[in-house]
Structure 1
Amino acid sequence: MVESAIANAKLILRGGPDVQVSEPVQPQNSHKRDLDSNPFNRVWRGDKKGSIRMPGVPTFEDKHEERKWIKAHMAGSFRYWGKMGFGEGTAGHITVRDPVMPDHYWMNPFGMHFSLIKASDLVLVGPDGYVTEHGAQLPINEAGYVLHHTLHQRRPDAVAAAHCHSFYGKTWAAFGKPIDIMQQDACLFHNNLSTYSNYGGIILSDQEGNNIADALGEKALCCIMQNHGLLTLGRTVDECIYLFCLLEKTCKQQLVIEAAAKNGLPKTIIAAEDAAYTQASNGYWETMYNNFQPEFELLKKETGGDFLL
């Protein structure tokens, strides 16, 4: 296991011949404690009686109520993107599978700033790729449709998909390389990140969408698309957006570390065993849903909840 981690680490981008990469730290073997079978229950603690509990992802008997909840969280996700400064003209899209009609998905309207989007502005796209009468009557991004409808077809496990031209993501994507696992948060990308090492121009054909789906494979939720930017999937839109924003921050961190490494500071890669141990709990889908909730609640406070309408 240790030898494999070291070998894998040596394959990762070194940033040039003068950059030193230390070998991964040895696994700490500190994983002795018996853990709850539900990974979400490992990350929080209540009282002994069990009356104080952390809420997980809600479930709905009424699919129309679930649709309303999804649209609210989707609109909040766009607002967060706007707050993070991810807007780049008309580029960028989030799609979420509709619970009422699972072969349909919700999408943002073309050319509307992320910071202005409300739940009522979201467009419901049919399986034929055209705007339906069930949502806002507004056009959608063609490249976004081509990419996302392919991903929703190829990855039925993915409820949500997100892509935009965030600055640090598209900067690191110029290298066509994965990020290193050098900090605890980055462990969420252990065995969960692919790289599409090609650029076929603006995505206007199903073939390019299929190429990206091939790069993601059957399990990875995150992808760095060379010369383009970041793409993430999720079992909820909250997980999808948390992963996207974390990957953006990790790309920024990677760029800063590479600059420091050029001055002789060696990089230390987390051992694969420890990264996998951390990812198993912190990377659980319900845990990642909860990681986005502080931002969602803050957005409601800051905006008076106007995006929920």
Structure 2
Amino acid sequence: MSAVLEKARPAIDLNGRISIYQPEQEGLIYPELPVFASHAEHRQHLKERLVAACRAFALQGFDYGFAGHLTVRDPEHPGVYWTNPMAVHFSQVKVSNLILADHDGRVVEGRHAVNRAGFVLHAAVHEAHPDIVAMCHAHTVHGTAFAALGKPLEPISQDAAAFFEDHVVIGDEAGQVAVEVKAGHKVANAFRGVKAAIHQNHGLLTASRHSIEAAAFWFIALERCCQQQMMVEATGIKPRLVTEERARYSREHVGSEYIGWLHFQAIWDQLAATQPDMLD
């Protein structure tokens, strides 16, 4: 297709749908966004999906001792958030051992301690951005390695295009463990209008204004994209990049918060069927 024709290409008419992936034909099995009758019902749903995100991280091999923290804002009390317990393996997180913490790092519900680094980073982001409902971070192999390069992802594929102009590289406090509150504020400042960050010499972070499912899936996807780019670079051959226009087009259709949520539904179904203890 010529550049002239590409620029003239009209936007897709979604006919009121959120995404082109939603079927136009009625009566087909397809994940639907949940609707809640009460805060309690909504809270239970969020806690179950937070646990599923932790279990998904375990399956991906994202564990590293006690490092790694996932959070989701409480639907009734936005000044507190649910998170995984300190020093509990992702595979052992369940609804009953989640903790509820405030922006000062104080545990207001639950028996376990809160991860100090998790409190510093996540509390700062949640407090600075009331629209952000969930956040994920873990010390992963490929994301940590890629973060040492101090550069953004390139649009080498449709998958990577999901992050085109939608992630940042944070150089502040690079390599210094985030246990002081000021470090959290610097990370929080970077999350204006993006869903992901590469923290130099540290690793990956994702945030969602939609759901914990979206934050978790985009973290999994970001780790995978970092691995793919390093594999390509290891060949010594310069990759052919997706053009900016095509990268933006792909991001619009495969990089949204809704699509992240939708991807996670397959993960949820698999975990619900094979790890029912997560709901204990």
TM-score, normalised to structure 1, is 0.84
Residue matched to 1:44: 22
Q: Which residue matches 1:300? A: 272
Question: Does 2:250 match 1:278?
Answer: yes
Identity among equivalent positions (%) equals 31
The AA in structure 1 aligned to 2:277 is D
> What displacement does 1:308 show?
1.4
Check conservation: 1:194, 1:224, Cα contact below 8 A. yes
Cross-structure match for 1:98? 74
CA RMSD after TM alignment: 1.9
- SS for the counterpart of 1:268 is coil
- Taking structure 1 as reference, are residues 32 and 142 closer, same or farther at Cα in structure 2, changes over 3 Å only? same
Any gaps of 5 or more consecutive residues in structure 2?
none
One-letter amino acid of the counterpart of residue 224, structure 2: K
Counterpart contact for 2:63–2:89, Cα < 8 Å: yes
Q: State the partner residue of 2:148.
A: 174
Pairwise CA distance, 1:33: 6.0
Residues 248 and 201 of structure 1: CA distance in aligned 2, closer, same or farther (over 3 Å):
same
Relative contact order, CA 8 A, sep 6+: which one is greater?
1
Q: 1:21 maps to which residue? A: none
Partner of residue 135, structure 2:
161
Matching residue's letter, 1:244: F
- Counterpart position of 2:65: 89
SS in 1 for 2:186: helix
**Aligned mates of 1:75, 1:254 — CA distance in 2:** 30
Structure ID, larger Rg? 1
Whole-angstrom CA distance in 2 between matches of 1:27 and 1:140: 55
Distance in structure 2 (CA, Å) of the matches to 1:38 and 1:299? 31
Contact 1:75/1:119 (<8 A) preserved: yes
2:236 corresponds to 1:255? no
Within-5 A mapping of 1:1-309: 29=6, 31-32=9-10, 34-36=12-14, 38=16, 40-47=18-25, 50-52=26-28, 54-133=30-109, 136-198=110-172, 199=174, 201-216=176-191, 218-234=192-208, 235-260=210-235, 262=236, 265-303=237-275, 305-309=276-280
**Large movers: runs of 4+ above 4 Å:** 25-28
**Residues 127 and 32 (structure 1), Cα distance of their counterparts in 2 relative to 1, 3 Å cut:** closer
Range moving further from structure 2, 34-43 or 59-68: 34-43
Closer, same or farther: CA 228–26 of 1 in aligned 2, 3 Å: farther
Summarize deviations over 1:144-186 as a string: whole Å, max 9, x none. Answer: 1011110001121111011110110001001111111111111
Matched residue type, 2:94: K
State the shift of 1:118 in Å: 0.4
Question: Contact 1:39–1:280 (CA<8 Å) still a contact in 2?
Answer: no
CA distance in 2, matches of 1:118, 1:72: 8
The unaligned stretches of length 5 or more in structure 1 are: 1-24
Letter in 2 for 1:306: D
Distance across 2 between alignment mates of 1:149 and 1:242 = 21
> Given that residues 96 and 237 in structure 1 are in contact (C-alpha distance below 8 angstroms), is that contact kept between their aligned partners in structure 2?
yes
